[in-house]
Structure 1
Amino acid sequence: VSLAHSRVAGTLQVNGFTALQQLDLSGTAVTGWVASMDECCENLLEINLAGSHISIILDDEVDAAGNNIYANADLLPKLHKLDVSNTSLNASVSQLLYSLADVPISTLVANNCSVRGAVPRLATVSSSDKKLGIKHMVLSQTLQTLELAGNNVTDLQFLPARLRMDLSRNLGPVRVSPSALEYATRTDLEVDLTHTELANVEEVRPFLTKQLPLEPDRSFVNETGGYVCSQFAASTLKVTPDRFMPSEMCVCRAGYFGTGTSCKPCPEDTFSDSDGQEVCQACPAHSHSQAAASSLDSCDCDFGKPKLQNGRRQCVCGRHTALSHGACAPCSKLHLQCNGTGHIAEEAFPESGYARLATAGVFRCLHASRCPGAPDCAT
């Protein structure tokens, strides 16, 4: 039965539909809670109440009609999926789970419904203001997917086996125990914490190398912020690195300097040529670069090309050329021997048959045999 976005209103009561398997009341004005569905739904498999007016009554544990808010397996013995997203439950996570303790739900979707507080152990649940009691929870044996995205969850200490957890887009920081994160990575349990901030970074940091390894490649790129980040090696543990652990999972990209996500572009005439640089390096003398230069080659030399030569960054002329009067000139025209790079005309050997005369330059010898190409001409 689908009555989605219809004018249906009133307390959630469906009687006499023993063969009903699916019920969609999303986007309607129905009120009450699942427990008010009395003697109706022994074969009901799925209920969609997303965007409706349902709520959990917390003060006296009964709804407006006097029905107990806590559902039981006798009412919904086959229910395996319940969606209450985009409602105003205004309850703690414990109260939500306890109200469904005896229902064999495998998928509970409660996104954006004003749920708050810590995610408890499923075996026992207590409210923030009073002990609700300890009881055997059918839910703890059947629940496989719990979606609480867009709420205000504060703490995740335990991860039951087989449970897929969604705490993405949480409204505030969440404290996640290192043991819960380690268990998720070790068992490939899917935990979605994307766009959620971690509250206990200091506590988790020591576990990053062995128990919580990061992937070697930094696949998360923030172009405008100038940084790149690594994801967790376990693909099932989903986070947004620059929100979850920015200083530990992110570094400044090439062309920027700083730490974590606090990155600035390298100033003009400097560069950084690899990720994770905390300072920028100066371009060689006689060269210039624009801001955010990401390599030595980004330094534009007045002559030649920038090179790291003899442990120094400098502008050097290429093969068969030499620096002469502020420019790279062909050695053949200067009558010099230039087999490598970085030659300076005043220092290069003259060609055979030529000689260097002090500061006057290189000249042809009158007797070529006296000038075999040594630094000085024979006399």
Structure 2
Amino acid sequence: MKRILIILIIIVAIASFVGTGYYLYQKSEEPPVIYETNAPFKTDIERKTVATGSIVPRKEIDVKSQVSGVIEKLFIEAGNHVKAGDKIAKVKLIPNVVALNNADVRIKTAIINFKNAEVELDRQRELFEQKVISEFDYNQFLLNYNLAKQEVEAAENNMQLIKEGASKQEGMSSNIVRATSSGMLLDIPVKEGAFVIESNTFNDGTTIATIANMTDMIFEGKVDEAEVGKLKEGMDLSLTIGALDTVSFNAKLEYISPKGVEEQGAIQFEIKAAVSLRSDNFLRAGYSANADIVLETKQQVLAIKESDIQFDEDEKPYVELMVAEQEFEKRILKTGISDGINIEILDGLSTDDKYKRLSD
């Protein structure tokens, strides 16, 4: 009995050892690799390039002051619509001491000359009435009197212009800054109390306001020299605005710069396109934007996923074509245009073929 028990223990031990070994062998053996396949398909392909830039008004005007001084009052705010001639600001003049002194001397001199002319005219009038002098001689003194009177008025107006920027004569308010064109007031870079410099031959002067026509907007961007040769005026653009990412705007290319500019080692060419505005979205000046420019379009061409293509040592594109169940061979391809996702197949595959799938 004892002998039989020992034999059973030995048999169980051997069976456990064999079973464990078989289990470990089965677990260590790798499962066969099953490759998934894709098939060529027909689709439309657009080859595009992207230009980065911004939305700006076609015409943007800086309004300057005709006189130097301090901003006394601002009549409107940024965002308001103005018409040509509307008041924007009033400038309080700070008179130049030398100019003020010269103006004062001019007034005094003019008054003295006027009083002398008045006295002389009265004396000559009596002589004329007594028939002592001719009418011609009398008119000469009358002319001198009128000229002296006019000089007094001119000197007083000059003094008022120096002090206040405005004269007694209508329409001579040079210290009132007015809109030079109609449009929207984009910016007023100065505040009340700020000092401004007049615009003249020697300097541009201080900008009081910026006015633009917001109904005529353009896209200004830049494209790389590798793509600029494919662009033509009149091409359609699709604009994506950074601040309005769910909305796209149409535009038409109207300008390509004849000269490139080097930026970070690459030559960039400026382009401009007229934007078609939408009534449901207001475009603000300065919005950043990307423009998709369609360079070439092909409809219903044979294509595959570009991520499934491999390249050999000669940089020739190929796929692994399935010739039997889970058996593949190298097939060289001739490709056409690509949109970055799908690529056109000109030769090497048909719609009945299947090839090894590399992409997820």
Please indicate the TM-score interval, normalised by the length of the shorter structure. Answer: under 0.3
Point out the structure with max Rg over C-alpha: 2
TM-score by length of 2: 0.20
Higher helix share: 2
Greater RCO (Cα-Cα under 8 Å, separation 6 or more) = 2
